[in-house]
Amino acid sequence: MPQINTIDLVRSADQNRRGIGAFNVVHLETAEAIAQAAETTGLPVIMQLSHNCINFHGNLTPLGQAMIDIAQLSTANIAVHLDHCESVDLACQAIDLGFNSVMYDGSTLPYEENLAATVKVVEYAHRNGASVEAELGEIGGKKGAHTPGVRTDPTEAHEFVQATGVDTLAVAVGSEHAMTERTARLDHELITQLRESTGVPLVLHGSSGVSDEQILQGIRSGMTKINVSTHLNSFFTEAIAQYLHQNPTVVDSRKYLGAAREALSAEAARLLSVFAG
């Protein structure tokens, strides 16, 4: 199927007050599992690759191109997105490769620097048919900044969206990155205020630490794009551990990677269904 534009999927979900899953790719098996989940459920999905993951692999192109190919070969509606990019040059490189959306993360920069860099990415993306997600209000758990009390200010968010022209906005409303327990509680009143003040679809980062019930309430309050990474990685890792425990003599890595791929795909499919209501 021809590659789908991220912003089209997000706006459709936003208009229908539904959530759409945005799941992080760590390696080829993750991308295959996410595509399988979308095909199984018949629901759209966003596959995203983080700047940190690109650093791990050493280059954007091999895995990034594989994600694009998987999306195009799939029967599902799959968009390909660059997540938490802290480099303007890398964001432009991803767009040139064929990513149809990028998340430029200048949230740790002073406000004016974040704004200026985001504008550069937006201008390049829009010239090339791509969309941009930005972040305002650093979300706890990133780079050791465990600050669960931080929140995005609605007035500042409105000004930021107007000044940059971003298509979606990631906001700090109570979630944290890399949580392994789903105990975070969202500020639903703030979510509603932010959706009304910004006029663009909102993105929930750190969703691995948020329960299904809290996420659904967040979607009703105004969240649309729901990012998940750590939660799905835990299913992948647990499946490998179980397979190796049950088959201690196995040497063919495809055996345990296959089991892990199936486990991640099953949970991704469940989440897609939950988010879609």
- Which residues belong to the active site? 83
Instruction: State which amino acid sits at residue 233.
Output: N
Could you tell me which of 202, 210, 125, 126 has the C-alpha nearest to residue 174?
A: 210
**Do 103 and 225 form a contact (C-beta atoms < 8 A)?**
no
Sequence-ordered alpha helix ranges (H) in 16-97? 28-41, 51-57, 61-73, 88-97
Q: How many CB atoms lie within 10 A of CB 87?
A: 15
CA dist., res. 98 & res. 127, Å (int): 13
Q: What is the dihedral of CA 192, 193, 197, 198, to 10 degrees?
A: -50
Q: What is the dihedral of CA 33, 270, 200, 144, to 10 degrees?
A: -70
Measure Cα distances from 197 to 155, 220, 249 in Å: 7, 16, 58
**Do 52 and 233 form a contact (C-beta atoms < 8 A)?**
no
Q: Classify burial at 159, counting beta carbons within 10 Å of its beta carbon; exposed 0-12, middle 13-18, buried 19 or more.
A: middle
Instruction: State which amino acid sits at residue 201.
Output: P
CA dist., res. 170 & res. 238, Å (int): 29
Q: Classify burial at 249, counting beta carbons within 10 Å of its beta carbon; exposed 0-12, middle 13-18, buried 19 or more.
A: exposed
